Amino acid sequence: MRILVTGANGQLGRHIRRCSEHSSHDYFYTDVEELDITDRLAVRDFILTNQIDTVVNCAAYVNVDKAESEEDVADRLNNQAVDCLANMMAEVGGLLVHFSTDYVFGGNGNNTPCTEDEPVNPTGAYGRTKLSGEQAISKSGCRYLIFRTSWLYSEYGKNFCKTMLALTETKPTLSVVFDQVGTPTYAGDLAQAVCTILEKGLDAGHEGLYHYSNEGVCSWFDFTKEIARQSGHKACDIQPCHSSEYPSPVVRPSYSVLDKSKFKHTFGLTVPYWTDSLSVCLAGLGVTVNK
């Protein structure tokens, strides 16, 4: 296969690079500097010139709060660009691998893990634009894998794990939301799963929509406590607080745990537990981890 990875300088893209270093396939890595995926002519030229038959789209607009005032910008990357990639894969008979979000469930008031056929009900612009991207892929007629994920973090870029690692080291006290529950997902695990599937080859009938996060459930407060515990940051007094104490322009999902049964049954891959993956990430950041 000849595989194009877009958004290759982001959290997930950087891990896709690492996982595919010794692949038997030909990988092409681009970010906006090399290929603007909102430019349909540029995308078409790149895919045809390089005979791309698979796209792994790691590019996305992910600023949840800012999307409320920039929905048109978010839509260009999360929906219109995705529509372009999907239609190009349909034209060449290729495969699109795309990543979506638990935010498509924001308004459901769930209290059990969300399955792929759960009714969607995003509460904000970010969730709406990501859902529109999913729908564009489905309408295109291309072969696709969509992975909805949640609470993504890694050694790269700006993310909750790195922010809390710094704050729990430097702040005497910290208040963290406890009434939003989900599952942290280490980008390295998601990337490894995708690369393993591509390396083995996608079996007929396995295209479609899947949920992928690490195993387990926690709140943002629990996540922070575990970051501090594993990092040995004992001096910081971490206290739970309500989300209402941190007003936001968008309502975030209060419970967005993803059911991964379909993924595990279809691909036969083990999904790591979230605290184990956190240890891997912290070690990658140079932290001496307390088990």
Active-site residue set? 126
In contact, 103 and 160? CB cutoff 8 Å: no
Residue 270 burial (CB count, 10 A): 10
Containing 131, the helix (H) or strand (E) segment is helix 125-140
In contact, 26 and 51? CB cutoff 8 Å: no
Cβ contacts of residue 162 below 8 Å, gap of 6+? 153, 155, 285
The DSSP code sequence of 191-252 is HHHHHHHHHH-PPTT--EEEE---BS-EEHHHHHHHHHHHHT--S-EEEEE-GGGS--SSPP
Report CA-CA distances (Å) from 256 to 21, 26, 154, 210: 33, 36, 20, 15
Distance CA 160, CA 170 (A): 15
Q: Are strands 152-153 and 95-101 parallel, antiparallel or unpaired?
A: unpaired
Cβ contacts of residue 13 below 8 Å, gap of 6+? 5, 6, 7, 29, 31, 58, 59
Q: At what angle do helices 220-231 and 160-170 cross, to 10 degrees?
A: 60
* Amino acid in the structure at residue 224: T
Distance CA 133, CA 177 (A): 29
Report CA-CA distances (Å) from 202 to 80, 95, 217, 222, 283: 26, 9, 29, 36, 32
